[in-house]
């Protein structure tokens, strides 16, 4: 029997990949291929606050962190065909009892995910929606430092940094 009520976090891939540092790098796990600061923070956050996390790749769709990648450069195109592909990739995950879906992707990709998951009757929460990249990174750092997840839904409220007393 499935364990209902689990949290799935979907994080974005990134343009900055390991191959930009070293062309000698061959095939590598997806979780190690993307090297931007934002990806690293999303990865740490997802590892700590989810039951499972996956990556939304512009080329491959939904991929596991251990999925082996070669260098590529492709931006997500929200075609109907790609939506169907991502929906088919998410179906077995969703059917395993994931009822809370969190997107740490940007606004465009989070909207894409909402459209993909609408037929399941699931809501995609985007707690960082509307924030610029620097604010997103700051919020994730604060959550990781305090070991407290972002707030979702009606409870959504940005976390204020602690004031340092001089």
CA distance between the termini of the chain: 54
Residue 56: strand pairing partners: 12, 62
Nearest-angstrom CA–CA distance, 55 and 31: 8
Q: pLDDT by residue for the chain (166 residues), tens digit each?
A: 344 579 999 999 988 888 877 766 788 999 999 999 999 999 999 999 999 999 999 889 999 999 999 877 777 777 889 999 999 999 999 988 888 999 999 988 899 999 999 888 888 999 999 899 999 999 999 999 999 999 876 434 444 444 444 3
CATH class of domain segment(s) 6-155:
alpha beta
- 18-24: list long-range contacts, CB under 8 Å, 24+ apart: 19/71
**Hey, is 160 helix, strand or coil?**
coil
Nearest-angstrom CA–CA distance, 130 and 107: 7
Domains of the chain, by residue range, sit at: 6-155
Tokens describing residue 13: 């891939």
């Amino acid at each position: 029997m499935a364990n209902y009520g689990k949290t799935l976090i979907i994080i974005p891939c990134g343009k900055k990949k390991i191959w930009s540092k070293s062309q000698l790098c061959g095939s590598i796990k997806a979780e190690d291929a993307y090297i931007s600061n934002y990806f690293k923070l999303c990865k740490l956050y997802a590892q700590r606050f989810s039951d499972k996390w996956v990556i939304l790749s512009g080329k491959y769709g939904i991929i596991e962190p251990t999925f082996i990648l070669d260098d590529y450069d492709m931006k997500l195109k929200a075609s109907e065909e790609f939506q169907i592909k991502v929906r088919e990739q998410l179906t077995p995950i969703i059917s395993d009892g994931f009822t809370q879906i969190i997107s740490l992707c940007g606004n465009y990709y989070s909207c894409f995910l909402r459209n993909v998951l609408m037929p399941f009757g699931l809501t995609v929460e985007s707690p960082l929606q509307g924030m610029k990249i620097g604010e997103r990174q700051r919020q994730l750092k604060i959550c990781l430092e305090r070991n407290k997840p972002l707030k979702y839904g009606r409870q959504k409220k940005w976390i204020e940094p602690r004031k340092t007393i001089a």
